[in-house]
Amino acid sequence: MQKLQAKLKNVPKDAHQVLCSTNSDLNRVEKLSDQSIVLACNNPDGDQSHSKNEKQDLRVPVVYVLNMRGNPLMPCSCRKAKKLLKEGKAKVVKRIPFTIQLRIPTGEAKQDIILGVDTGYKNIGISAISGIKELLSIDVGLRNDITDKLKERGMYRRGRRNRLWYRKPRWLNRANSRKEGRLMPSVLQKVNTHISIIEKIKKLLPISKVIIETGLFDVAKMKNEEIRNWEYAKGEMFGFENVKAYVLSRDNHKCYFNDRCSDKLHVHHIKFRSKGGSNNPNNLITLCERHHDQLHEGKIVLNIKKHKELKSATIMNIIRKRLVEYFPESIETFGYETKVKRRELGIEKSHVNDAFVIANGKTQERIIPFNIIQKRKNNRCLQLNRKGYKPSIKKERSKIQPLDLFWVKGNKYLCKGMFNYGKYICYGSTKLKEYFKIELVESYYYQGIFVWNI
């Protein structure tokens, strides 16, 4: 105990001085490159820093356990995990969240664990609870840059193809676009993330029941509150050839700035397509050619309120349908039920609190929530063109990807990227020379697409 106290000098006196692993690489005192970033696992003696005015959270986390076949068992305490590791009866299989696998056969008694999932457009709330305590709490941040990445990829592809003057035109050979039930890549990514995070949790805990809160939105009702039943089948642009014809008819073939303009009429995007605007009629307005040119030149300003986008509501309807089909054994619930239960318990609204309520949580002991963000599996960024240097194109996948952890001279750092053909690894700003040669890296930890507690 004397050695242990000497190692953990910064641990409070009332904290549990119990390590989760006998591996020296996981237990050594590490210093972050950025002290504002907390990289904490479910180890009570992790790298969590607390200010003097901040109240320390003393909720004790758990260690997740797998049997010899890799199937999940009930989690154990940090003290019991340390004992199993010290006796050689278990091994560490994952750092974050800290997971061990048993090397000996044991009894596999399991309790009923309910998994609550709060679906969302930008965030997902996860909570797994037993009869007496909460075993896992996660707030997952979803990616919203898929559309921009696809536009950038299309720009590079068009540039390459335009340089091939002999290439035959091909634009109606997209077999993927003719698939039944096909989803757009940005929508498909959100659906797959909901499915993959639930499947990952099932590999950590023996889940007996899944309850999913889904969103069911009436988009037509949100656009027009006085819509009638027979108007649902017709739609907003019923009887018009295209969107432009509908917008011109809606605006009485008159310019927005002057009714008496005799120039050719144009249809203008209120929110530009380059900034995420759509071809929805609510985002279009009629302008004459003269005023249209003046507006783009900045001589006049369009004082009109931008319409409320309903893209998120449509995507949530798609997510609901796909999750119910993929998990037919799950139980479906809705937001108004969660709201009533949350108010009865008197807890604040958040994704993790909603998930706790969805999982029928009431008086169970809560656990410190994880924060997860998504990243690309492979970094395919092109090097920016620098004056006097030719552009560098990555031809091989780097072993260390952005947001991965790496160690240099016993200190832990967060990878921000690699440059100079993979010869240097950066953990901060290149202007401040916050980088190392790749030969100095002692070890690294691959985060995957889900980065925990970053």
pLDDT value of residue 50: 41
pLDDT at 19 over 60: no
pLDDT tens sequence across 178-232: 777 888 889 999 999 999 999 999 999 999 999 999 888 888 888 888 888 888 8
At 301, the pLDDT band (50, 70, 90 cuts) reads confident
pLDDT tens sequence across 303-352: 887 667 788 888 999 999 999 999 999 999 998 999 999 999 999 999 99
At 68, the pLDDT band (50, 70, 90 cuts) reads very high
Identify the burial level of 306 via C-beta atoms within 10 angstroms of its C-beta, where 0-12 means exposed, 13-18 middle and 19 or more buried.
Answer: exposed
Say if strands 424-426 and 450-452 run parallel, antiparallel, or are unpaired: unpaired
Other CB atoms within a 10 A radius of the CB of residue 452 amount to 19
Whether the CB-CB separation of 123 and 112 falls below 8 Å is answered with: no
Contacts of 244 (CB under 8 A, 6+ apart): 267
* CATH homologous superfamily, domain 111-163+183-217+310-374: Ribonuclease H-like superfamily/Ribonuclease H (3.30.420.10)
Helix 311-326 and helix 185-202: axis angle, to 10°?
40
Three-class SS of 213-268 = ECCCCCHHHHHCCCCCHHHCCCCCCCCCCCHHHHHHHHCCCCCCCCCCCCCCEEEE
pLDDT value of residue 181: 80
CA quadruple 285, 289, 293, 299: dihedral positive or negative? negative
pLDDT value of residue 169: 63
pLDDT at 56 over 60: no
The Cα 69–Cα 177 span in angstroms is: 41
pLDDT value of residue 75: 93
Whether the CB-CB separation of 82 and 98 falls below 8 Å is answered with: no
Q: Average model confidence (pLDDT) for the chain?
A: 81
Preceding omega of 97 cis (within 30 degrees of 0): yes
Report percent pLDDT > 90 for the chain: 39
Amino acid present at 5: Q
> 212 versus 8: which is more confidently predicted?
212
> 122 versus 31: which is more confidently predicted?
122
- What is the average per-residue pLDDT within 437-454? 87
Largest CA distance in the chain: 90
Identify the burial level of 33 via C-beta atoms within 10 angstroms of its C-beta, where 0-12 means exposed, 13-18 middle and 19 or more buried.
Answer: middle
Q: Any idea where the domains of the chain sit in the sequence? A: 1-109, 111-163+183-217+310-374, 235-297, 378-448
Burial 308-320 (b: 16+ CB within 10 A, else e): eebeebebbbebb
pTM of the complete model: 0.76
pLDDT tens sequence across 369-424: 999 998 887 766 655 556 666 666 666 778 888 889 999 999 999 999 888 878 89
pLDDT value of residue 384: 59
